[in-house]
Chains A and B, each alone.
Chain A
Amino acid sequence: EVQLVESGGGLVQPGGSLRLSCAASGFTFSTYWMHWVRQTPGKGLVWVSQINSDGSITTYADSVKGRFTISRDNAKNTLYLQMNSLRAEDTAVYYCTRDQLVRGLRDDAFDMWGQGTMVTVSS
């Protein structure tokens, strides 16, 4: 089955750290750019970070730059998000998603999403 499954969410104190994982299955993970998108309960979607297919290029939203690190292990078909110096405003459901391939070429559409993992930053 083609799917993305996030894990690693939970309750963490302000200033703390957490690492999210996203396990991919059913497709050739190493050929896709991957992303993290978050959503505060009851609010809209916010793009967090992206990584290219071989892990050599990463980009971050200004709100997380310097605190979050995206990475991937193509041998393990897994995407990661290391989150440090967490703040209350980082509380959200975190989704991993991938860029669509159209005739083998990357397109900016997020065509597959995981179910999300909840991160709560609170004392």
Chain B
Amino acid sequence: QSVLTQPPSASGTPGQRVTISCSGNSSNTGSNYVYWYQQFPGAAPKLLIYRNNLRPSGVPDRFSGSKSGTSASLAISGLRSEDEADYYCATWDDSLSGRVFGPGTKVTVL
């Protein structure tokens, strides 16, 4: 059971904006950077957002991240069929002295 909370699923139609939340506490998301990963079935995860809101080279600007207090969010604007994947948030947990991942959110494009 993860110390981070994400909705199990999210969906939208092509072109819509979808937001995924990641909630933690003061020992993890509240005091450390949040990271987001995208994973397609049968593939390794891919870094999508680092340090709360920065995009690695090559990640479309349709993906954006934000953080406020102990909660973080990933937004996908202009949703496309190829965005259908699982999305995980991650951070460091000071109490556990280790990295933690959220349970993941499956995004479906209707």
Contact = CB atoms under 8 A, between A and B. Distances in A.
Contacts, number: 65
A109 B99 contact: no
A116 B44 contact: yes
Nearest to A113: B44
For chain B, the bracket of interface size reads 20 to 34
A108 B35 contact: yes
B45 A45 contact: yes
A116 B35 CA distance: 20
Nearest to B32: A108
A107 B2 contact: no
Interface string B87-105: 0101110001111111110
Interface in B60-89: 88
A115 B40 CA distance: 12
Interface of B: 2, 32-33, 35, 37, 39, 44-47, 50-51, 56, 88, 90-92, 96-104
